[in-house]
Amino acid sequence: MSIHFIYVMNMLTILSITAPIFLLILIGFIVVRTGALPATSIPGMSSYLLFLALPCLIFQKISQLDISQVVNADYLLIYTMGCLLVFFSVFFISRIVLRDSISFAALKGFGGSFPNSALIGLSLMMQYFEHPPTQAFVMVMLVENIVLFPIAFALMETTPESGADLKKTICTVGVRLLKNPIIIAVVTGALASLVHFNPPAFIARVMDLLASSVAPVALVIIGGSLVGSQVRASARDLLLISGFKLVLHPLLVLLMVVFIVPDMDSSLKQAAVIFAASPMMSMYPVIGGQYGQQAYCAGLLLVTTVFGFFSISLMLSLLELI
């Protein structure tokens, strides 16, 4: 069998994983662009996803697991290190080299390091593995919501007026976390697992229906949210943020799983790279809007999502090395 034939078959396999995901994103863009789905419906769909469907999925996945077997110290270490190294690299480049404010530099670092793991990453993992390592997704949620969110929001809330008010910053971040439906789902799911709680059959069925809607609805929302986006970020910022998010972040995680934790389960290694390779989270413009940067963030989301198809395909091909 020729090397060329094997290469073609591998590429077709990768396309069979990535194409459906980005086709749904394209469908979302088309239906909103043509008016078949009103653009005004996107915020409502996002709320449905964030406050209902996605928490149901996370609660369901965690509550069905043995919590004592979920946590893998190596995985948590590698994923946390990868995200934090990328976040602070972008943050310090923006702060020291580009002379951005602390808040704006943190927003850039957030975009460069925080993947769309709950939507695109989860969909990729479900497509890539015959038996997806659910614990990988749970640990990603724990790291992103308990470690990355507090650090990023604490720095983004640091302004010239409030920078010295540590108590105010801690309270603001704490309130955001306590109200975060993802955090609530993670905590309640863990408690349900510990007490071996099983909901009644009809409630479990309702949760199954809600959870099954996450992937298609999320991808359509991502596509629809790109309609009307204009790239207002400078070429310098585009290169910095998209380069770190799409290329350096997954490559860094890939190198760490190969050389730092070579004995870790291969499916967990591959899952870590898949999540790191996902484009920035679709809520990035919403978060940026809280700091007067919604249009800026929407343009970055557009670029990273479009180029994410190529970078993800590249990273999936490199998973054969693990």
Q: What is the pLDDT of residues 46-86, one digit of tens each?
A: 888 878 888 888 888 778 877 666 789 999 999 999 999 99
Identity of the amino acid at 89: S
Q: Using CA atoms, how far apart are residues 41 and 277, in angstroms rounded to an integer?
A: 29
pLDDT values of the chain reduced to their tens digit, one per residue, 322 residues: 555 544 455 566 677 777 888 888 889 999 999 999 998 888 888 888 878 888 888 888 778 877 666 789 999 999 999 999 999 999 999 999 999 999 999 999 999 999 988 778 888 888 888 888 888 988 898 888 778 888 888 888 776 655 456 666 667 667 766 777 877 887 888 888 888 888 888 998 999 999 888 878 878 887 887 887 777 778 899 999 999 999 999 999 999 999 999 999 999 999 999 999 999 887 787 778 778 887 788 888 888 988 888 888 888 888 877 7
Interatomic CA distance for residues 89 and 109, integer angstroms: 7
- For residue 95, the Cα-to-chain-centroid distance in whole angstroms is 24
Planar angle of CA 53, 56, 57, nearest 5 degrees: 90
Is 73 buried (19+), middle (13-18) or exposed (0-12) by CB count in 10 A? exposed
d(CA 281, CA 304): 10
Q: Which tokens go with 305?
A: 């999502």
Per-residue pLDDT reduced to its tens digit, 133-186:
888 988 898 888 778 888 888 888 776 655 456 666 667 667 766 777 877 887
Residue 43 makes CB contacts below 8 A (sequence gap 6+) with none
Tokens 């760490």 belong to residue: 256
**Do the Cβ atoms of 145 and 130 come closer than 8 Å?**
no
Q: Is the dihedral of CA 307, 308, 310, 314 positive or negative?
A: positive
> Are the C-beta atoms of residues 128 and 278 closer than 8 Å to each other?
no
C-alpha angle 116/312/24, rounded to 5°?
Answer: 65
CA–CA separation, 7 and 4 (whole Å): 5
Q: Residue ranges of the alpha helices (H) in the chain?
A: 3-33, 41-48, 54-63, 67-70, 73-92, 102-113, 122-128, 134-143, 149-156, 166-179, 181-194, 201-212, 214-225, 235-243, 249-259, 266-277, 284-289, 294-318
Q: Which two tokens stand for residue 64?
A: 């069905």
What does the pLDDT read at residue 159?
Answer: 66
* CA distances for 188 relative to 65, 119, 136, 185, 191, angstroms: 13, 21, 18, 5, 5
Cβ contact 297:241 at 8 Å: no
> Model-level pTM?
0.80
